Amino acid sequence: MRKSQRGSNLLLSLCGTGYIKGGGTLASLEVLLLLFFFPSFSIYLFILSLLTGVVLTWNMEDRSWIVLDEACGMSLALVFLKKNPWLYLSAFLLFRVFDIWKPPFLKKLEKLKGGIMWDDVVAGAIAGILTSTGEVIWRHLYL
């Protein structure tokens, strides 16, 4: 394996997280913890992981060890949320449900160029929107 390939694999696997059983969930959890302590990094992590992931996976099939897409989707889910452990946990759970369940519209996105990333981006957007909407409804009804 070439050095450049090893570097790409290191990025795509989030420093090896993707090689661990349950790597996608673990990668999402790592992002959640990182962004809980450094919430202002969320937009930067999203943009950086999206651009890096699309470039590195342009002509690749999805492989289980590639978890940069989970980091990208999870960071998007957290971008607009207030720093609140319940909101972050809700976004995490919703993101993982959509990422694992893969409704038909998300499966179609996997067939696009760079599709390894797009299904997780949309799953992250949905998780973030649902969490934000739930927070607004909760505040309106109970606070």
For residue range 46-83, list pLDDT tens digits in order: 999 999 999 999 888 889 999 999 999 999 999 999 99
pLDDT of residue 21: 97
pLDDT of residue 61: 86
**Separation in Å, CA 56 to CA 60, 66, 72, 78, 114:** 8, 11, 13, 24, 8
Total number of domains constituting the chain: 1
pTM: 0.94
For residue range 10-44, list pLDDT tens digits in order: 999 999 999 999 999 999 999 999 999 999 999 99
40: domain range?
3-142
Place of tokens 């661990």: 20
Asked whether the beta carbons of 28 and 12 are under 8 A apart, the reply is: no
What DSSP letter does each residue of 16-46 carry, written as one string?
Answer: TGGGSTTHHHHHHHHHHHHHHH-GGGHHHHH
pLDDT of residue 4: 79
pLDDT of residue 1: 67
pLDDT of residue 113: 77
